[in-house]
């Protein structure tokens, strides 16, 4: 296995790996229509090339059986830079075909865009056929974009033999090159890519970079922390100029959700760790306004349906379901917009004593989303109930008490968390009543094949989901609510990066301690960066972990690391000898 070289030992960055310090015109013609000529572009712009008009690539997302979202951004004049609010309104042509040469165009139209939407183009193309590959492109003033490829979902009553997704999270531009995206773009066997959050990071230069030194392998634009709408637009634009990111967007449809850094670190419904309220010296203004700007830019720049549409300004609800025939349904969560503030913490390895982690009045999902999630976990839905989960749901603690002792201890001490001593209260461990409701729903309704796929914590995990972690042995029938697979980060620092120790040295002891105290955790890698591949069949779901070498090396090696699978109906995790599609 190729692993990064350790960075120089220096003081810890503000943001740590485990949060607690563990060692337009949306009515563009969707039916077939004659191509129209783009208007309002200047004569100077006409002479410029494809790379000027379409600097930020093309993308697609949220595939349905008969529809998919298409996206691009145009730069009609030199002054029309992202976030500038400048430039003319233009009409951008788009086409969808069944072949790469566009001899068989099935849909075409014109989309009007301008500075009010940062010259982004985002539309929902309907009337497509299920489970089919399509090619798409855009044209402005005679200049054509690169060709993108996308695939629709299977029909609702179809039973595909398998589904295969790339799985990624936590891509910090300053912390290294996006080699994980390069690795996925080199594959030809995926159906879509699932991004589980932290697509962009809010920090300015010199903040939260590569290793203990916070070295900027690449420097963020603008050169300060994102606060304004223009800031968020410029940062999204910078990420989408990355060659590897552009290649992966152009090759596959993406299914995305946000975590915290799309707005600010450790955000919750009314604030964030990395937000200073107020308008005086050092103040960063209203958090609600900051979040609204971030969500607006995300809606403009990402190929996702917010509030169920590709239109802008109609809401910012991002939790949604995408169905893939009878085989699987993917429910993407938003675990930042509706959550209560995180519980208080104390430095690890001292256990967190805050009883608020089990307070039934506190929530990570919000009431509406929790009901929606329970509906997603219905045994009458498609076989695999996959949950796109921004933060880890498996309990991870140091010394959980048996269920029958928790209430008594809590009554006596007033300080014992209901589910032991969690090491990271920014994830579901800090909101255990919501988790208990989800797990009880699975047990009470006899739901099988619940599979949570997760990002956020810059490490690879495979875990079972025990109803009672304190007594869990992994041998009882019906004692697991399902399985969780956690992908590592694309670039963001992990444990070895933060401690400055060589890979597979000090992290090994931490991994073994966590697994010894949490018998449901079957695999843990705190040291690697990369991507995962999730393959689903009627018999099993398998996750393969791929790791990259040095994030500072644009051409670093990419190697397979490990694979784990869960057989249908078992709620168990087991090691697999090799990856799918090798």
The pLDDT value recorded for residue 397 is 81
Q: Is 36 exposed, middle or buried (0-12, 13-18, 19+ CB in 10 A)?
A: middle
Which residues face 23 on adjacent strands? none
**Angle subtended at Cα 411 by Cα 405 and Cα 416, rounded to the nearest 5 degrees:** 70
Hey, what CATH class is 31-152 in?
A: mainly beta
Model pTM?
0.89
The pLDDT value recorded for residue 353 is 56
b/e per residue 389-422 (b: at least 16 CB within 10 A)? bbbbbbbbbbebbeeeebeeebeeeeebbbbbbb
Phi, psi of 250 (to 5 degrees): -70, -20
The pLDDT value recorded for residue 343 is 92
Query: Shortest CA distance to 20 belongs to which of 340, 276, 266, 275?
Result: 266
The pLDDT value recorded for residue 50 is 38
The pLDDT value recorded for residue 386 is 98
The pLDDT value recorded for residue 419 is 56
Strands 267-268 and 271-272: antiparallel
Residue ranges per structural domain of the chain: 31-152, 163-576
Asked whether 279 and 35 are in contact (CB, 8 A), the reply is: no
Residues of the chain with pLDDT under 70: 1-51, 345-353, 398-421, 423, 582
The pLDDT value recorded for residue 283 is 93
Written as six digits, the tokens of 482 are 């399902």
Hey, what CATH class is 163-576 in?
A: alpha beta
The pLDDT value recorded for residue 506 is 84
Q: How far apart are alpha carbons 199 and 295 in whole angstroms?
A: 13
Residue matched to tokens 């209430």:
407
């Amino acid at each position: 296995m190729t692993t990064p070289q350790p960075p120089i030992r220096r003081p810890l960055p503000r943001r740590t790996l485990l949060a607690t310090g563990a060692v337009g015109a949306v009515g563009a013609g969707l039916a077939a229509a004659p191509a129209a000529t783009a208007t309002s572009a200047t004569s100077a712009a006409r002479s410029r090339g494809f790379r000027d008009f379409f600097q930020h690539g093309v993308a697609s997302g949220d595939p349905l059986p008969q529809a998919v979202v298409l996206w691009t951004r145009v730069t009609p004049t030199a002054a029309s830079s992202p976030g500038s609010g400048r430039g003319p309104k233009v009409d951008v042509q788009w086409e969808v075909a069944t072949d790469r040469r566009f001899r068989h165009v099935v849909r075409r139209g014109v989309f009007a865009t301008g500075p009010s939407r940062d010259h982004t183009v985002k539309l929902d193309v309907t009337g497509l056929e299920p489970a089919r590959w399509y090619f798409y492109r855009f044209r402005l003033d005679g200049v054509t974009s690169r060709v993108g490829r996308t695939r629709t979902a299977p029909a609702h009553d179809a039973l595909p033999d398998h589904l295969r997704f790339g799985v990624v999270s936590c891509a910090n531009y300053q912390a290294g090159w996006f080699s994980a995206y390069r690795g996925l773009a080199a594959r030809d066997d995926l159906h879509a890519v699932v991004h589980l959050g932290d697509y962009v990071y809010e920090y300015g230069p010199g903040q939260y970079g590569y290793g203990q030194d916070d070295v900027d392998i690449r420097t963020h634009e603008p050169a300060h922390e994102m606060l304004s709408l223009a800031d968020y637009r410029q940062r999204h634009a910078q990420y989408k100029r990355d060659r590897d990111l552009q290649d992966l967007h152009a090759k596959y449809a993406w299914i995305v959700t946000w975590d915290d850094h799309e707005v600010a670190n450790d955000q919750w419904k009314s604030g964030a760790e990395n937000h200073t309220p107020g308008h005086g010296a050092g103040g960063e203004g209203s958090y609600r306004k900051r979040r609204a700007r971030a969500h607006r830019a995300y809606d403009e720049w990402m190929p996702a349906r917010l509030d169920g549409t590709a239109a802008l300004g109609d809401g910012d609800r991002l939790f949604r379901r995408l169905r893939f025939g009878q085989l699987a349904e993917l429910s993407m969560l938003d675990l930042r917009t509706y959550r209560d503030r995180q519980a208080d913490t104390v430095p690890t390895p001292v256990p967190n004593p805050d009883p608020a982690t089990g307070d039934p009045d506190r929530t990570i999902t919000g009431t509406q989303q929790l009901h929606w999630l329970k509906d997603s976990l219905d045994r009458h839905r498609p076989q695999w109930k996959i949950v796109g989960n921004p933060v880890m749901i498996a309990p991870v603690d140091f010394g959980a008490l048996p269920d029958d002792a928790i209430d008594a201890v809590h009554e006596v001490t007033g300080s014992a968390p209901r589910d032991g001593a969690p090491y990271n209260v920014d994830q579901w461990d800090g909101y255990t009543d919501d988790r208990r409701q989800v797990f009880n729903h699975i047990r009470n309704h006899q739901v099988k094949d619940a599979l949570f796929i997760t990002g956020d914590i810059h490490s690879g995990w495979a875990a079972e989901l025990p109803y009672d972690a304190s007594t869990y042995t992994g041998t009882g029938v019906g004692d697991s609510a399902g399985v969780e697979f956690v992908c590592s980060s694309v670039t963001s620092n992990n444990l070895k990066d933060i401690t400055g120790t060589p890979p597979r040295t000090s992290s090994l002891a931490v991994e073994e301690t966590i697994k010894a105290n949490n018998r449901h955790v079957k695999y843990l890698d705190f040291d690697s960066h990369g991507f995962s591949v999730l393959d689903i069949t009627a018999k099993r779901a398998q996750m393969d972990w791929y790791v990259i070498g040095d994030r500072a090396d644009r051409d670093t090696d990419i190697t397979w690391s490990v694979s784990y699978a869960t057989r249908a109906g078992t709620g168990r995790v087991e090691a697999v000898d090799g990856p799918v599609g090798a």
